[in-house]
Every structure is written in structure tokens, then in C-alpha cells.
Structure 1
Amino acid sequence: MKNIALTLLICLTTIGFSQNFFKSEIKNDTIAKVGDKAITVRDFIERYELTVWRGKEKKTQVDKNKLEFLYSMIAEKLLAFKGLELGLDKDPEIQRAIQQTEKLLVLDALYKQEIKNKVSVSEREILEALPKYNTEVELHYIIAETKEKADSLWNLLKGGEDFDSLMVKLGQKNNSEKLRWGEIYEPIEKIVYDYLSVGEVYQPVQVDSLWYIIKLAGKSSKFGLSPDEIESAKSQVRKIIQERKEKQRFIEFVNEFGKGKILKVDAHLLKLLYREINNIVEKKKYVRKAENVSVYPLAVLRDDFLDIKSRLAGFLDQYFLKGDSFNRTLDYVIDQLSFKGFVLHSDRQSVSGVLNGLLKTIINEEFLAFEGYRRGLDKSPEVLKDMEMWRDAYLAYAVKKLVLDSLKFNRSISAEELLKSYRPTTGDIWEIKIQEILVNDIDLADSLLNLVKSGYDMGELARRFSKREIARENDGIIGYVLSNQLGEIGQIAGTLEIGEVYGPLYTEEGYSIFKLIDKRKPKDTLFVVNYDTFGVVLNKLIASLADEYGVSVKPEILKAVEVTYINTIVVRFLGFNNRILAVPLLERNVDWLRFIKKKNLPLP
């Protein structure tokens, strides 16, 4: 059932505040040096505030948390140095990630130039909207799937049928919400605030593919607000008006910008791509119907697109999109579809319809990105700074993956060396058993989390949606395994109560939702040592890089940095309807300090 409230507003306004805060109010002293690179106070705060960090909520250990976080940032930069040295920036997977992130940031910079910076909100506009914002309304609504059904219901109401009784008859008795100005779909909002009195009902209104009949059931206004409350309300009103003006300016710009621009789609490649996606969708439908489970939502996952690439290997370098200024290969377009997420939410959607919509979005973005690069926005200070952070994160990930892969095939580290260098950490490690669903798309992850919280069987959802094959075959259950073997998931799972659900958590593999089934202390220290092999090798590598490049920190500046105690993962909403994580996630990594030769760094 479609909700008439706008649910993303709080996230958008929160991000806006965070970005303004980081850019304007922080003294930008250097807090650490890693080789020739500096980590500033602003760099540290931006990353710390927008990253989930175990124990951040504990005020008594704030200094320890800050120092450990700083050393983890240093470790990431050192690994990035190694990645460049090894040429991992030329790795196709890393190149794709870097190029995609840069494109999104260039699009955001273009959006600011053409949309955001060309919109302003006057004090008069704020004062006119403020009384509406301070008035909460209670809405009851009836939903109809067709205009004919909506008109039939409207005739019943005009004939004297009681609105609330009709809601009950239709099984829609829970269709009621208390909302305020700015939280309601705009056409309905205008009706509610400008035309309806309490108790009145308005004729059917179309919202997307559905029809709504609205009753204003109640209205209450706030009076006697304090000066601080008034200023807070004015700030929220300004953001709502700004967002709506940006939306209007966006439509004007895109219509103007798109005139005369043509990008041809290769019909043969489109037919091949459609056939492959449709085959995957039909197979998934067949399996779910055979298992007598709900078919939707149905997602084509990253692994599915990799399979499509393997089947269309001979066509990947051919141009799928052809224009006067640029061309894009089939390989590139498949990557874009995977990034965007291909999801059917109901049987009213078709593969061709979803594919067509995504291709339109991709084509529009390619024109806009081409314009952004033409203007040199990839060289703007803001984009360059953001890309340095993301590039370091991608390179560090590539080095870790290289180390892990080498351990899988090379047992060159002796047990004696491991035991000699190993310091028991079993007090911080649990053997855990979890149930997990791992997907590529955050919207799909949010939907699945809501289903789990409403009592839907998590095992069934894991079988249908999880991209982790080994878990999918076992109702999503993983374990018992050591918590340090599962990275950030393991760290968080070790802090949960049995039965507690957490997520969505962004990981390098996708968005994870997991439930802690059980946890226990490890009995065998050598068992822990075995799984710490990767950690030991990685930390020795980081320590050698620290000795090679040089690391220095300024603990007195770090101690003076004020931080909050809230753990949160924040999504950064970019221009032209894109989004990424506000900052790359950071793994806790301080054990490398045990292996450095120059013992001149303060310990956490």
C-alpha cells in the first residue's frame, strides 16, 4: 500500500546540515601525516561522525575511540600507497569503482552549478509557509487501483456512505496518518491545507498509478513557541521550499539541456540484453511459484549480471549507446544496470518497462556527466578531495583482497612465526552464528528488513534474495564462525543480544541484514590464531609501510577535537537523484602498531 507521506525528507535535511557543518565551522589543522599526505581535523571529523564505530556511544572511552579511528585512517592511507605501488589502480574492478564514484561526484557538482546555486528562498516565503508547517493534520484516505473504482467509491460517499465505515468495509481501516506541511505529496498537501475543512472529503486524486480519496479528520496548530523552536521551524521550512524549488529548476534545466541531444541504442544488443534479463526473471518466478512463496519484489542481482556478461562475452566491447560526442559499450551499460539495481516490485511491472526506464536514466546521466567533464568539474577542489578519500578506500580494499587471496593459495607463514607474533585477543572475539540476507540494493534491503521486523520468515527471504550462495543454501545461516572472521558484521554481531536483528549494513559485498542466533566464547586459542593469520600478515605489512613512509600524529590536537557519540551510517544524496554512502566505511585496524620498528606513536 502506497504511503502518501514523503519519507526521505529527514535524511536529506540531515545530510545538508552535516555538509555545511563540515565545510564552514571546523578549524582545519593537520592532525596526522602519512608520508606526504596530511589528515586534517576536518578529514577526521567528517569520517568519524559518519561511520559506525563500535563503542562510539561510550563517553568514557572517547579519547581511545578517536585515537583508534585515526590509526585506522592512517592504515588505510598506508595500504593505498601500497596499492599504487603495485599498480592496483589499473585493476579493472577498482577502475570501475573509481570511475563510477567520480562520475556521481561530477554529476553532483553539475547539479550544484545549474540547480542548487540558482535557487534561493526569501524570508517572505518562509513566513508564509510557517503557519502551515506548525499545523499538524490527521488524514484518512481510501486507495483505489483504477479511476473507475475510485469514481464508484466517490459516488457512494456523495450518496451518504460514511467515509470511515467504507474504509473498514474495504479493509483499509489503518489508512490514517498524522502529518505536517512538507511531509505530504504536494498535490494532496495543497488540497488539505487550502481547500478542506475538518470533516470534509475531497474527490479522487491520482498519485502515480493509484487513486486517493482524502478526508481531513483533524487539524491542530502549535502556539506559544519559544524563539529557538521558531528558528528551528523556519530552518526546516527553508529546506522544504529549497528542495521544491530545486525540483522545479531541475525539470526546467533537463528540458532545456536535452534539446537536440540524441543517443542511439543498438537494437540487436538491446534485444540480446532483454532476452538474458527476461530469462533470469522468468526462472526466478518459476522457482518461487514452485516453492509457493511470494514472487515480488524480484531483483536481478550483481551475480546475475556477471552471468549475463559471461554469456554475452563476445558482444561486451560493442557499442550499445552511440552518439555524436561519445559511445558506451554493452559492458559499461550492464555495469550501470547493476549499479542502479534492477527490481520488479509487482506483476504490474514488466521487464521491458523496467529496462526501458533504467536505460532512459542511464542515457540522461551520460549526457549530464559528459557535460560535467566538459566543464572540468572533475578537477574542482571539492571533487578532487572527495575522490582522494574514495580512491584510498578502494586501493586499501584491493590490497587486503590481494593479501587474503595470497593466503588462500600460499601457506608460506610458519606456525612458529604466527605464535611468536600473536597476542591473544580472545576476550574481544566470539564464536557467532548469524542468519543473513545480503543484497546489492539499499531499497531492497530496507524492504526486506521491514518484512523481517513484521515477522516474515528470514530463512525464506534469504533463500530468495541473498546473493551469498553458501548462506542461501542454508536459510541464510552462517556459523559458528569467529566474529573477527566476518569483519564489520562480526564486530557488530558480537555486541548484539541473541535474536536481535541489525541492518542494513553496507559492506564491500553489498547491504547486509543479519540476526544473531547464538554466540559463545572460543575454546581453542590456536583455532583463533588460525583465523588471525590474515590479520597478522596484514598488520605486519601496514607496520612495514609505516616505517617506510613515516607516520606522525598530534595527540594534543586530536584530544581537543569534539565529537558526538551517535553511531550512524549516512547516505549522501547527490544531484540528479543519485546517492552514495557519505564516506567509505572504515575497518578498525590498530594492531599494526605492535609491529612497527619506530616506537614513537602514542598507543590507544
Structure 2
Amino acid sequence: MLKCRSLRRWFVVVVIFPLFTGCSDEQAGTQPEIVATVGERVITAREFQLNYEFGFSSLKKAPDRKLSYLDSMIDELILSTEGYRLGLDKTDRVQNLEARLLQELLVEELLRVEVSETITVSDEEIRGAIAGSKVRWKFRYWTETDLGAADRIYKLMQEQGYENVVAERLAREEIRRDPADFETDYMTWLETPPELLEAIKDLQIGELSGPIALDNVYYLIEMIDIRREALAEFDYDQTHDRYKQILYQRKLKAATSHYVTGFMTAKNVVVKGEPFQILVEALEEWKLQNDSSGTFSEAIEVAGDAEPALQKLNRNSGKVLISFAGGRWSMKEFIEKI
């Protein structure tokens, strides 16, 4: 039987996808090609093609991968038909799961239309990425959590040198650390966070950067070495598709973050600190129970004195966790949606 995520993909193919295609087989005046029939239900060639393309690779390991995958789809259709016969589609649990699944699909479709379809990767960008992969650099770094402190260390390093300043500061620590712990291996742009890459890409060997903000700390970086490899047309031909996908995924991640941030800002979404902390502590306590037989909601309902965090969440479940333009969610409402 196909797994849960495969079920989601199946739902996308047979329910959501037709709503967004410009022309169906019936509209074109042709009958869809049927590859399997289960009772009154059918699997068309188009449905199989789309499902197979997005399906798990683990379902494609048999010698005849397509036939094996079709068998899995037929098994799923047989079981789902039996579920309909028994009226399981009318149960509260299935109705709730279907509603949540539809919400997820709507979000996926929204991001596909508003974000994914707007992203393009030019051949020039691909060639630049491949050329960049032939440049590797090695650097050493120091971090500070405060910008003021980072500025002071930067000035000291300019006067006394990176090595002397780091050695002096490490000597003050109770737990001794080796300066080599603050050196990287040789890296390309693929292993370097984009924010850091932008700041160090023009550094020369021996040159020191100013404070670079990344992940709530400030980096001071001194370039140790830069290596450049020869680039041939063969490299472009062999790695073109790989780097196109890498660039696409990076752009998609950045664009999705930008879109979601803009959307949430317009909605004036506010997460309440105290209820959020209650929720976090309850989740941590539930996770430590190592009991996978029940749901988080069930654990909250039956929490006793041995689960103080879950019990506290149960008492405060009516408190507002999230407010937004036009509404709000209590912790209970939020938990019901996840």
C-alpha cells in the first residue's frame, strides 16, 4: 500500500490536478486511455504517469518498476474502495484528516502558483555556478555574540594580527581549545551560506573581513588559501542539469521565505510568548515519553501529576496562542489543526 505522503500525491493527481489543467480528455473530445479497472473505478494512463513521476523511489525497485508501481496503485484503490463500502469515509477521523489534507494541498498549490512558477534559472547563471564550483577557499574565523565586541576584536586583529589575538583570547579560557578548531576545510560556494559567501567572495589570501552577521553571531574571517581548478566545456555538459536544480532550489527557498514573510506581515500574525512556551514544554515532555501509540491531543487529555507540562497545557488550552487580522487561535484550536 502506498504510504501517507504517496496518498497525498494521489489526491493531488486525481482531485486537485484536473481543476488546474486547461483541457481534459473529455473536453478535447477523446476518451482517456485506461490502464486498470477496479470495480467501477479506473486508473487512466495520465493519472499513472503523474503519480509515477512524483512517487517514492522505494516503490520503483522491482525489475519491472512501472508494473510494480501500478500494482501498488491498484492495491491502494482496492483498499480505499473497501473503505468506502464500509462507510469509513464518513467517520469523524477521516473527515478531519481529509479537511487537514485539503488545507495542505491548498497551501502547496498557492506556493506553486505564486512562487514556484515565477522562478527561472538562466543558462548564464548555470555557467557561473559551475565556474564558481571550481574555486575552493579555506579560512579561519572568530565569533562574538555582540556587535560591539566584534568591532573591538576586529580593530585588535588589524593592529596585532588574527593569530595573536585569537591565541591571547583562547589562553584566558578555562577549557582549552585549539586554534585549529576555528579553521575550515576547503569549501566551495555550495558549502557556504549565501550571506557568508557574499561577504567573503572578494577576500584575498591573508585579508581579514569585518564583522559578518550570521545565525545570531558575528564572524570575523581571515582567508588562508584559495585554489582554482581548470574548467573545460566538458564540465558544463556533464553538470548543467545538476547545477540548474541546485540554483532552482536555492531560489525557491529564498522566494518562499520572502513570500511567506510578506503574507504573514500583512496579516499581522502575532504569537503570544507565554502560551507558546507552555506549548513547547508540553511537546518536549510528550516527546520524552517515547509513547508512539497515542496522539499529542490524547496525551494532553489524560495527563496526570507525572506530566506537569502536559497538565499545564490542558488547564490553559483556551488561552490565545496566535492572533491575526480577522481572528485568533487558542492553543486548543492550534493543536487541532496540526
- TM category (shorter chain) comes to 0.5 to 0.7
Partner of 1:5: none
Partner of 1:32: 36
CA contact (8 A) 2:156 2:165 kept: no
Residue 38 of structure 1, CA deviation: 0.6
1:62-82: CA deviations, max 9, x gaps?
Answer: 14x765554333222111111
CA contact (8 A) 2:135 2:226 kept: yes
Partner of 2:121: 121
Superposed, 1:200-279 pairs within 5 Å as 200-227=207-234, 229-243=235-249, 245-246=251-252, 249-250=255-256, 253-254=259-260, 257-258=263-264, 261-262=267-268, 274-275=277-278, 277-278=280-281
CA distance, structure 1, for counterparts of residue 224 and residue 128 of structure 2: 24
CA distance, structure 2, for counterparts of residue 160 and residue 151 of structure 1: 14
TM-score under structure 2 normalisation?
0.63
1:430-462: CA deviations, max 9, x gaps?
Answer: xxxxxxxxxxxxxxxxxxxxxxxxxxxxxxxxx
**Distance change >3 Å, CA 32–CA 142, structure 1 → 2:** farther
Q: Which amino acid aligns with 1:231?
A: D
Give percent identity, aligned residues only. Answer: 19
CA distance, structure 2, for counterparts of residue 95 and residue 325 of structure 1: 26
CA distance, structure 1, for counterparts of residue 198 and residue 135 of structure 2: 13
CA distance, structure 1, for counterparts of residue 164 and residue 105 of structure 2: 49
Instruction: Indicate the SS of the match to 1:143.
Output: strand
Partner of 1:157: 157
Residue 190 of structure 1, CA deviation: 1.7
Q: Which amino acid aligns with 2:57?
A: L
Q: Which amino acid aligns with 2:77?
A: K
RMSD, aligned α-carbons: 4.5
Give yes or no for the alignment of 1:45 onto 2:52: yes
Q: Which has the higher contact order (CA 8 A, sep 6+)?
A: 1
Instruction: Indicate the SS of the match to 1:201.
Output: coil
Aligned residues: 284
Residue 334 of structure 1, CA deviation: 1.3
Partner of 1:99: 99
Which blocks of at least 5 consecutive residues in structure 1 are unaligned?
A: 1-27, 288-300, 340-604
CA contact (8 A) 1:44 1:70 kept: no
Partner of 2:72: 72
Residue 204 of structure 1, CA deviation: 2.7
Instruction: Indicate the SS of the match to 1:203.
Output: coil
CA distance, structure 2, for counterparts of residue 330 and residue 171 of structure 1: 47
**Distance change >3 Å, CA 114–CA 48, structure 1 → 2:** closer
Residue 51 of structure 1, CA deviation: 2.4
CA distance, structure 2, for counterparts of residue 261 and residue 86 of structure 1: 42
Instruction: Indicate the SS of the match to 2:211.
Output: strand
CA distance, structure 1, for counterparts of residue 263 and residue 279 of structure 2: 33
Partner of 1:308: 300
Instruction: Indicate the SS of the match to 1:211.
Output: strand
TM-score under structure 1 normalisation?
0.39
1:161-219: CA deviations, max 9, x gaps?
Answer: 527974986445244133222431122112222x2112333233121212222232222
Instruction: Indicate the SS of the match to 2:63.
Output: helix
Instruction: Indicate the SS of the match to 1:136.
Output: strand
CA distance, structure 2, for counterparts of residue 144 and residue 324 of structure 1: 38
Partner of 1:87: 87
CA contact (8 A) 1:121 1:238 kept: yes
CA distance, structure 2, for counterparts of residue 171 and residue 179 of structure 1: 21
CA contact (8 A) 2:150 2:220 kept: yes
**Distance change >3 Å, CA 212–CA 331, structure 1 → 2:** same
CA contact (8 A) 1:140 1:177 kept: no
CA contact (8 A) 1:319 1:329 kept: yes
CA distance, structure 2, for counterparts of residue 260 and residue 202 of structure 1: 37
CA distance, structure 1, for counterparts of residue 223 and residue 239 of structure 2: 23
**Distance change >3 Å, CA 118–CA 197, structure 1 → 2:** same
Residue 52 of structure 1, CA deviation: 6.0
**Distance change >3 Å, CA 234–CA 222, structure 1 → 2:** farther
Instruction: Indicate the SS of the match to 1:51.
Output: helix
